[in-house]
Amino acid sequence: MGKWIQALIYFVLRRLLHRRYDVEVLGLDKLEKLAGPVLVLPNHPAYVDPPIVLSHLRFGKSLRPLVFTDTYRSPLFYPLMNVIDAYEVPNLQSHSRDAHAKTTQLIEQVAGELNHGQSFLIYPSGRLQRQGYEIVGGARIAYELLERVENVNVVLVRTRGLWGSRYGCAQEGDVPALGRNALASFLWILAGLVFFLPKRKVTLEIHPVDRADLPMESKTALNRYLESFYNADGGETAKYVPYSYLFGPRDFDYDAVKRKGIVDLSEIPETTIREVHEILEHRLDRPLEEKEKEPGTTLDLLGLDSLERMDLALELERQFGFRSDHVPASVGELCLLAAGKAPTDEQPLEVPEGWEDEKKPSTNHPEVLAETIAEAFVRRALQSANHTAVADTLSGALNYRKLLVGATLLSKRIAKLEANSVGIMLPASVAADSVVLATLLAGKLPVMLNWTTGPAGLRHATEKLEVTHVVTSKRFMDRLGVDIDGVEMFYLEDVREGISTWEKLQTLIATYIAPGSFLRNIPQPNPDDPAVLLFTSGSENLPKAVPLSHRNLIADMRGGIDHMDFHRSDTLLGFLPPFHSFGLTATALMPILSGIRVVHHADPTDSRMLARIIAAYKPTFTFTTPTFLQYIVSSSEPGELESLRLVMVGAEKCPASLYEQTMKILPQLDLLEGYGITECSPVVSGNKPGHNKPGTIGLPINCVETLVVHPETHQPLPQGEAGLLLIRGASVFNGYYKYDAPQPFLEVDGHRWYNSGDLVAKDEDGFIQFRGRLKRFLKIGGEMVSLPALEAPLAEKYPADEEGPKVAVEGIERDGGRCIVLFTTQEITLREANDLLKQAGFQGIMRLDEVRQVEAIPVLGTGKTNYRELRSWIEEGSEVAAKS
């Protein structure tokens, strides 16, 4: 019965297509004697050629077409897919390891079906033609199927007459919108009264080929053979066929479309382009010819199939730090991705329903309502149940009631995990907030894992903390491409599937009729017990485990709220990752516990999207690093950032050039510099709105005391003199976890102080001036040489931009003397660099010994310069390109 239904459908389809297409089939008689499974391999000039081929190849066999999932699942075609026995294929235009694995599995399954007698229609190129000829390139599906299936009839089909159709790429320069064009065609058919349409002449040339005659020595050989068949007549020139004899357009400017599609690389740094070429050459295992370096050269032409293009795009993402959901198809698009300028959807973002919180809080003062994190959250959620709490572009907007329900349901699953410590590896998001809160509600210790440290760093962290389970997302891990040995992944997608609608409903109802039950079920830790475990940045040494207690975190939140005079009516943009101490405390826990709305974005380097989120969600303040702020400011369009009234930057010195650039476009903004350190939960000091001294890191917040002492004698120093910064107070941690070396505390004046390792000075008003890391000083001839001080004038001359920092200074002391090196992405000689230092007032020993030009300054996931890696380069003598 199924075959008769298919035959009827194809008959009707043939009659419908005949209204527009005059189809001539050449060589159909050659198929009559084929016995066994058949593999039909056509070229692919337009979306309309599959129904034409399927409905006109009538030779007594049912052909199963392979259909990409976007088309397969579309409302327009989905009802027919099962009837014609189509085979769904994952769409590799959106790249991921999951799609890669599914495609490999697909090839195995189709090969199995062929071996069992099924017949298939498969397009070897795997995509629509982008020009008037077919490029199979490095596609692997035809070769791998023929490698696995020996007893199969191969039928090649060359389609002519469709290039230039609205269903191909010629009219738009890219894949056309199928639904929109189908609707337009339908309206034209109605306008032409069905029977009065000009017809497009289409020819199908059919050539059965003995499998033994195919060049199967390699994928490349087979693909070149197929291309030579498809393009035997030199390819096609785009032809326009009107839809009416009486009205409508009579011609189309295809050349204008070609000009519009040219990729402009004029603003891409030459170093980035060269590096992309080198990566390509490594992939191809051969040098690129000059013509192959042209931006318009397609990756197909270079021999890269869809899976290889996807792998290449993921490699570029990991190396350059920029993301795109679009798989590059040409050399030029690879360069755009590497430079963070890949095409994006620039439609205005739609704010999710529920984000605009119309309910006014009873008080405008943010307040943390308890002494432990879990209790503070539950009390806030019950008090502000219907107020908006968090949002992101994936989860939408959640009020406190929904956040409490979600965290409670998740906590029941996390509570069943054996170990007390639970790893968490998620970017800034509603999911990350929910998981941290759920872990605490479950009575477990959240361990925030820094995925930018790579597999070795993650393994070190999980082993040190005896983590057996890591809570994460399949979507995130699929994109990240990082594996952790020795732990079990606890995927949020699996958890959601295991929660019944009835359980969700019960928990939701409880928030109305039994809110006290949530308070009764909260774990009751001591406020001095660890609430979360973070790791130091590792910019200068191996990361150390930092346990922060409930008292530490809540004291810091309360101190920061009072210091900055935040309001409940404020809205925060949070995009720093939660493994970053500022990202966890300031942009996740603080707003949620105190009642301030927060919108998250997962990628701090996705500057264009961050600017668009600010334009849509209208946040009033954010916390960031100067590097990430530079990205946002450089990528924003006029007016997009106007909702911001306050930006606090820290983690590195804010360059004067960035301050000036930001204030120029946002003159009403309070751009404040602050100082924090993971061990202090993290905020220690900051400038205040209306009380700001640019160039300083502000005044200490009210939960800490600070003291400046001599770096060697540890004696307190007078005002204005630079020395070592010591800190004490409720927000200061109690010592590193499982740490064999001495803990970072000093006894001074009868008190125990945390030794920050940073050099500062206090002015007459108590404002702190940051002078650099003590470890980033070299003692030469009895004098202290500040590496940050040497770096500052160079960074002013060559400020960081969306590509990252352009200069960094690092040095070491050797037996034969010192070695202070300027690492730079710019063309600077040693003499030019030292002349800049002289102009800034440095002399004598305050100079550089060497300049090394590098492709990029290494940075950590937080955006900080990775000085530890730079120091290793000096010690190992690598990355050398000295300029005298």
DSSP-assigned letters across all residues of 161-205: S-TTSTTSSTTTSS---HHHHHHHHHHHHHHTTTT--PPEEEEEE
Burial group, residue 95, by CB count within 10 angstroms (0-12, 13-18, 19+): buried
Mean pLDDT of 234-257: 79
For the chain, list the domains and their CATH numbers.
2-254 (3.40.1130), 270-338 (1.10.1200), 373-704 (3.40.50.12780), 781-884 (3.30.300.30)
For residues 838 and 391, the model is more confident at 391
Reduced DSSP (H G I as helix, E B as strand, rest coil) percent helix, strand, coil of the chain, to 5:
35, 20, 45
Mean pLDDT of 689-698: 89
β-pairing verdict for 817-824 and 850-853: parallel
Bridge partner list, 783:
780
For residues 101 and 743, the model is more confident at 743
What pLDDT is attached to residue 324? Answer: 65
Helices (H) and strands (E) in the chain, counts: 29, 32
Range 229-233 contact pairs with CB under 8 angstroms and sequence separation of 24 or more: 229/156, 229/158, 230/43, 230/133, 230/134, 230/136, 230/156, 230/158, 231/133, 231/134, 232/158, 233/160
The answer, yes or no, to whether residue 95 has pLDDT greater than 50, is no
- Of the listed ranges 409-418, 671-680, 788-797, the least confidently predicted one is 788-797
Q: What is the pLDDT of residues 126-149, one digit of tens each?
A: 888 878 888 887 778 888 889 888
Alpha-carbon span 177 to 73, nearest angstrom: 15
What pLDDT is attached to residue 782? Answer: 46
The backbone torsions φ and ψ at residue 286, rounded to the nearest 5 degrees and listed phi first, read -165, 160
What pLDDT is attached to residue 779? Answer: 53
Mean pLDDT of 780-795: 71
The band of 884, judged by pLDDT with boundaries at 50, 70 and 90, is very low
Token reading at 184: 């337009």
The band of 881, judged by pLDDT with boundaries at 50, 70 and 90, is very low
Share of the chain above pLDDT 90, in %: 33
Could you give the angle at which helices 306-320 and 97-115 cross, rounded to 10 degrees? 170
Other beta carbons less than 10 A from residue 667's beta carbon: 7
What pLDDT is attached to residue 482? Answer: 74
Query: Angle at CA 418, nearest 5°, toward 415 and 419?
Result: 100
The answer, yes or no, to whether residue 842 has pLDDT greater than 80, is no
The band of 652, judged by pLDDT with boundaries at 50, 70 and 90, is confident
Burial group, residue 750, by CB count within 10 angstroms (0-12, 13-18, 19+): exposed
The answer, yes or no, to whether residue 321 has pLDDT greater than 70, is no
The backbone torsions φ and ψ at residue 535, rounded to the nearest 5 degrees and listed phi first, read -125, 145
The band of 158, judged by pLDDT with boundaries at 50, 70 and 90, is very high
DSSP for residue 614: H
For residues 876 and 472, the model is more confident at 472
Alpha-carbon span 159 to 170, nearest angstrom: 16
The answer, yes or no, to whether residue 838 has pLDDT greater than 90, is no
Beta strands in 135-287 (DSSP E): 153-160, 200-209
Q: What is the pLDDT of residues 853-872, one digit of tens each?
A: 998 898 876 567 888 788 88
Bridge partner list, 780:
783
761 membership: H or E segment, kind and range: strand 751-762
What pLDDT is attached to residue 430? Answer: 95
What pLDDT is attached to residue 745? Answer: 93
What pLDDT is attached to residue 539? Answer: 47
DSSP for residue 681: S
Q: What is the pLDDT of residues 110-131, one digit of tens each?
A: 888 888 888 889 998 888 887 8
The band of 571, judged by pLDDT with boundaries at 50, 70 and 90, is very high
Give the chain's mean pLDDT. Answer: 84
Q: What is the pLDDT of residues 722-762, one digit of tens each?
A: 889 999 999 999 999 988 888 999 999 889 999 998 889 99
The band of 240, judged by pLDDT with boundaries at 50, 70 and 90, is confident
Residues in the chain: 884
The band of 882, judged by pLDDT with boundaries at 50, 70 and 90, is very low
Mean pLDDT of 179-206: 77
For residues 295 and 552, the model is more confident at 552
What pLDDT is attached to residue 754? Answer: 95
Q: What is the pLDDT of residues 286-314, one digit of tens each?
A: 888 887 888 877 776 676 766 677 677 77
For residues 237 and 343, the model is more confident at 237
Nearest to residue 41, comparing CAs of 123, 127, 159?
123
- Is the pTM for the entire model greater than 0.85? no
Alpha-carbon span 189 to 161, nearest angstrom: 19
